[in-house]
A and B are shown apart, each in its own frame.
Chain A
Amino acid sequence: MSSPSFVITAASQISALGCGIGALSEALTKPQQPVAIGPFEYHAFDEPVFGYKVNGFDPEAVLGKKGLRTKDWATKLLLGTFELGFKEQIAQRTAAGECPGFAVGTMFGSVASIGDFLSESIVNGVHAVNPQAFANTVINAPTGNANIRYENRTLSATIANGFGSSFGALVYAVDYLRHGYADSVIAGGFDEISYYALLGLQINKLSSNNLITPFAQTPRGLCIGEGCALFLIESAERAETFGIPVLAPIAGIASFFDPPQTGASELPGGEGLARAIQEACDQAGITPAQISWVASDANGTVLDGVEAQVLQSIVPHAPVTSYKSRLGECMGGAQALTVACAIVDINAQRISGIQADYPHLVKTNLVTQTRFCDASYVLITMLTCEGYCGALILKRS
């Protein structure tokens, strides 16, 4: 199998850790606490709910006032991330005849818009519904709005793979480039906190103490987050030819499906994740022993135990962190945000730990505080409750 020779040349993010890649540098070294979520316009929970809300993002300040009025929060998050990281790049490349495609992952898209649209019609009658809001009620509305704003005429894909949507978008983008369909793709993912997302997660999934504790000995459940991260991906050859600075080469990327097993545990066995890690290493031309550290997908649920077992068996030497301890579970934006954090850390020669200390699974080499690490290869793992698993290896540029 040939190695993908693709690189990330620009990145952008909006999350609980702030706006822009630069915001991550300092924010990653500090603990982050969830905040109370709500109130919601049409519904309420019996108990307070906490989550990792986006911090410091003013849509009007970033995007200007025009055209924002009927855009929902999910769209604003995506557009804001585009604007902060790629506005000039898109304009310059488009003027030069190269139009970056868009591949955006999301688990729920604008489910808040869908739910509120229906709720409004139920509560106040169908005549009260704002027709302009209807345009937001499709999962690809945010990406579609990005197409309009940035005059995209090439690839526009919305990837909905549940909790692994942003990873799916990255896989899609690399495959698209590998086939030569485009010179560059802006890929990543987003999701927003909404009543409707929480409604589904509320059933035995949300943390009992409102904290997210990756790899905890006693899994308490996840804590919801929101955010968006995007990357400009292109071939290494192209970046070199045009003298484009590289943030991080993608040394390997692979995904598999490992469905939850029937029986008492109803957990995936871990074989899929193990295969993905090996495949990604093969693409990178390295052995697992050369992985410097791991940015995991652990989110405080029982699935962490499966991921811990796989990591222990394949990369037992590697320190492990989880950025979800500060970002929350950002669903369709999760792995993209993890990649963004990993890029910052790998270039800063450090591992940002979970910034907390609690009894964790003994088989994990969990990093709790930020430490120096001159890494060559960083492994980013994904293991979702739907059975989607993956591995992405970043190389230090």
Chain B
Amino acid sequence: MELVEIKTAIRALITEIAEDMEIPAEKIVDNALFIKEMGLDSMALLEVLATMEKKFGITIPETEFPTISTIEKCAVTVKKYIDLKG
């Protein structure tokens, strides 16, 4: 699974969530901080993680959560656990 594919999946879900929260599309960029810059909330982030876990059949430990602050970092973490899963 390529990083770009993972990023696309994350970005698509965040876009969907952002539309529902009326967050402007221009704020959805790979290196924008989810909460401070995009305006998402913690529940939305949990949804993103749960969706990625389900989609890719992985489990991301809660210890990783604090580091998942942007689309880029989220994709890197997801790829890490996909690769670990083998």
Contacts and interface: CB of A to CB of B under 8 A. Distances in A.
A65 interface: yes
B46 A69 contact: no
Nearest to A124: B54
B43 interface: yes
B54 A132 contact: no
A69 B17 contact: yes
A130 B47 contact: yes
Contacts of B17: 69
Contact of B50 (A65, A66, A68, A129): A129
Interface string A117-133: 00000001101111110
A67 interface: yes
Contacts of A125: 54
A131 B50 contact: yes
A66 B19 CA distance: 7
Interface string A122-147: 00110111111000000000000000
A68 B20 CA distance: 7
B47 A132 contact: yes
Task: Give the bracket for the number of chain B residues in contact with chain A.
Answer: 10 to 19
Interface in A66-99: 66-70
A127 B50 CA distance: 6
B57 to A, nearest CB: 9
A55 B47 CA distance: 31
Main SS of the interface on chain A? loop
Interface string A43-79: 0000000000000000000000111111000000000
Interface residues of A, number: 14
A67 B21 CA distance: 6
Interface string B39-74: 000011011001101100001000000000000000
B26 interface: no
B37 interface: no
Contacts of B16: 69
Contacts of A131: 43, 46-47, 50
A66 B53 contact: no
Interface in B13-44: 16-17, 19-22, 43-44
Contacts of A67: 20-21
A319 B46 CA distance: 57
A40 B47 CA distance: 22
Interface of B: 16-17, 19-22, 43-44, 46-47, 50-51, 53-54, 59
Given A127-B54, A131-B43, 19 more contacts: A65-B20, A66-B20, A66-B21, A66-B22, A67-B21, A68-B20, A69-B16, A69-B17, A125-B54, A127-B50, A127-B53, A127-B59, A130-B47, A130-B50, A130-B51, A131-B47, A132-B43, A132-B44, A132-B47
9 contacts: A65-B20, A67-B21, A69-B16, A69-B17, A128-B54, A130-B51, A131-B50, A132-B44, A132-B47
